[in-house]
Amino acid sequence: MGNYILAIDQGTTSSRAIIFDKSGSIISTGQLEHEQIFPKAGWVEHDPKEIWDNTREVIGQALSKANLTRHDIEAVGITNQRETAVVWDKTTGKAVYNAIVWQDTRTQSIVDRLAADGGIERFKPQVGLPLATYFSGTKIVWILENVEGAREKAEAGDLLFGTTDSWVLWNLTGGTDGGVHVTDVTNASRTLFMDLETLQWDDDILAAFDVPRSMLPEIKSSSEVYGTAHTSSLLREVPIAGILGDQQAATFGQAAFDTGEAKNTYGTGNFLIFNTGEEIIHSKNGLLTTVGYKLGDAPVHYALEGSIAVTGSLVQWLRDNLGLIGSADEIEALAKTVDDNGGAYFVPAFSGLFAPYWRSDARGALVGLTRYVNKGHIARAALEAIAFQTREVIDAVNADSGVPLTELKVDGGATANNLLLQFQADILDVPVVRPVVAETTALGAAYAAGLAVGFWDGLDDLRANWQEDQRWEPSMDASERDRQLRNWKKAVTKTFDWVDEDVN
């Protein structure tokens, strides 16, 4: 029996393999970034082959750093950037186009076309999501309509679709040599195609999108054995036993298993997930209804989600596009060169605005500028934007649930930033709490896999692993908080109605 679980975290910016022990502690990590491809304004792509090559390599890194072999690994869990769509040829194993990333807005005209009959909430009763470029369904349609020969091949049953969990699983289990074509309920709930009640693809919706059902993976629970790693893999014969989309995985890794529990992840974007238990709750305040997790045959848990497209990626943008900082962590020192935002508010509507607004016509704006504003103020405004957007999503959760959150569990790369988390506590007026293991995404996938093979006995084992690292208490005056929120909301309105039909 192996003493460890290996989690593959196929993220937006990098792929990681992390090995965990029974206490949920990290034993070793392998990590490689992949190229972010921006062919045009609003387009974001990844190379699926690079993603799979990196995944294989980081598995090797993690094993060799810890001096372990496949015999030490009891099971593998997969977590992934959600909604990012890969379409590949099942006979060659090659993708027919780059992966179209969740942030990509090229499918707006497909959204408009589908919304012409019934509006953007047309499928929301079944799938919990509005029509938006964000979700994978519209990206599949784009590939079928724009890649030469794709439609014919898809109709002939030669093409497969998957989010990157399915792409990694199919390749890890052998690819053209018997690869398993499966996704889990959490990833399936982000396509626009899965009925939340039946947890199956909805044929009427597939017909409306004109997507052949034969392309789609089989939907399974988040915790069961899907297959074993192929003999050509370093992990050969190790069962792959857990899949959770990254945000659901982080929720699971935070041990937020019960109704009313929540977490907020600060990564490329920010994603707040609020567990609603076995009940499907339709938001009246701009949140998505999604699947939280499903363990084998046990009942499914649903969640409300507040998705924010641009948070940590705004910090990357200041680094890569403006050269304001040399690395993401330098933003804290730069922001500390000033006492406040100097009147500047930065609304990073680079992919339109997601929750709670869902305005695809919005684009980014930096407002309140005067001669006084310097780069320190802009750094601060960028960090504050992360916190303000989170505040608006939490207001929506509180309004939908009727029971205000009394503290916020956080995780993700940007939670290394103390200034950000103090401002977050101030602007929320509730404490912010960070656990010892900040890699909750990978941990959640490890938990799902470990539960399936009996490595952990049950959820109580996992709850016992959760430990608080640090806590930030609110200390801002109510009047100051109100003034800043008022300004923020005004700034948000300045981003609306920017995209005209002839501008992307």
Ligand X SMILES: Nc1ncnc2c1ncn2[C@@H]1O[C@H](COP(=O)(O)OP(=O)(O)OP(=O)(O)O)[C@@H](O)[C@H]1O
Interface residues with ligand X (CB under 6 A) are 11-14, 81, 267-268, 312-313, 315-316, 328-329, 331-332, 412-414, 416-417
Q: Which does 417 bind (CB under 5 to 8 A by kind): Mg ion, ligand X, none?
A: ligand X
Minimum CB distance to ligand X smaller for 13 or for 285: 13
Nearest of 441, 389, 442, 443 to residue 420 by alpha carbon:
389
Rounded CA gap, 274 and 277, in Å?
A: 9
Give the shortest CB-51-to-ligand X separation in angstroms. 11
Give the shortest CB-316-to-ligand X separation in angstroms. 4
Minimum CB distance to ligand X smaller for 317 or for 498: 317
Rounded CA gap, 163 and 180, in Å?
A: 14
Rounded CA gap, 384 and 396, in Å?
A: 19
Number of helices (H) and strands (E), helices first, in the chain? 16, 21
Minimum CB distance to ligand X smaller for 162 or for 179: 162
Which residue stretch of 67-75, 115-123, 245-253, 271-279 sits at the interface with Mg ion (rule: CB under 5 A)? 245-253
Q: Which does 137 bind (CB under 5 to 8 A by kind): Mg ion, ligand X, none?
A: none
Q: Would you say 421 and 471 are in contact if contact means Cβ atoms under 8 Å apart?
A: no
The verdict on 48 binding Mg ion (CB under 5 A) reads no
Give the shortest CB-16-to-ligand X separation in angstroms. 7
Token readout for 2 is 């192996």
- List the x/- string, 179-208, binding to Mg ion by CB under 5 A: ------------------------------
Residues in a beta bridge with 274 = 262, 304
Q: Which does 414 bind (CB under 5 to 8 A by kind): Mg ion, ligand X, none?
A: ligand X
Angle (nearest 5°) at CA 395 between 393 and 398 = 110
Helix (H) or strand (E) segment spanning residue 421 = helix 418-428
Minimum CB distance to ligand X smaller for 14 or for 504: 14
Minimum CB distance to ligand X smaller for 122 or for 263: 263
Q: Would you say 312 and 266 are in contact if contact means Cβ atoms under 8 Å apart?
A: yes
Minimum CB distance to ligand X smaller for 331 or for 408: 331
Token readout for 162 is 């998957």
Residue 299 is classified by DSSP as P
SS3 content of the chain, % helix, strand, coil (to 5): 35, 25, 40
Which residue stretch of 22-30, 67-75, 243-251, 427-435 sits at the interface with Mg ion (rule: CB under 5 A)? 243-251
Angle between helices 375-401 and 312-320 (to 10 degrees): 160
Q: How many residues does the chain have?
A: 504
Give the shortest CB-247-to-Mg ion separation in angstroms. 9
Q: Which of 4, 5, 8, 11 is in the footprint of Mg ion by CB under 5 A?
A: 11
Give the shortest CB-420-to-ligand X separation in angstroms. 6
Give the shortest CB-80-to-Mg ion separation in angstroms. 9
Give the shortest CB-191-to-ligand X separation in angstroms. 19
Which residue stretch of 160-168, 238-246, 278-286, 420-428 sits at the interface with Mg ion (rule: CB under 5 A)? 238-246
Minimum CB distance to Mg ion smaller for 82 or for 124: 82
Minimum CB distance to ligand X smaller for 400 or for 439: 439
How remote is the C-alpha of 355 from its chain's centroid? 14
φ/ψ of 201, rounded to 5, equals -60, 140
Q: Would you say 19 and 5 are in contact if contact means Cβ atoms under 8 Å apart?
A: yes
Q: Would you say 253 and 443 are in contact if contact means Cβ atoms under 8 Å apart?
A: yes
- List the x/- string, 263-282, binding to Mg ion by CB under 5 A: ----x---------------
Nearest of 138, 230, 153 to residue 192 by alpha carbon:
138
Max Cα-Cα span within the chain: 66
- List the x/- string, 432-471, binding to Mg ion by CB under 5 A: ---------x------------------------------
Minimum CB distance to Mg ion smaller for 314 or for 365: 314
Give the shortest CB-9-to-Mg ion separation in angstroms. 6
Residue 503 in 3-state DSSP?
Answer: coil
**Dihedral sign from CA coordinates of 436, 440, 446, 447:** positive
Q: Which does 227 bind (CB under 5 to 8 A by kind): Mg ion, ligand X, none?
A: none
Q: Which does 313 bind (CB under 5 to 8 A by kind): ligand X, Mg ion, none?
A: ligand X
Rounded CA gap, 287 and 211, in Å?
A: 26
Which residue stretch of 21-29, 154-162, 239-247, 354-362 sits at the interface with Mg ion (rule: CB under 5 A)? 239-247
Give the shortest CB-19-to-Mg ion separation in angstroms. 17
Q: Residue number with the shortest CB distance to Mg ion? A: 11
Contact residues for Mg ion, defined by CB under 5 A: 11, 246, 267, 441
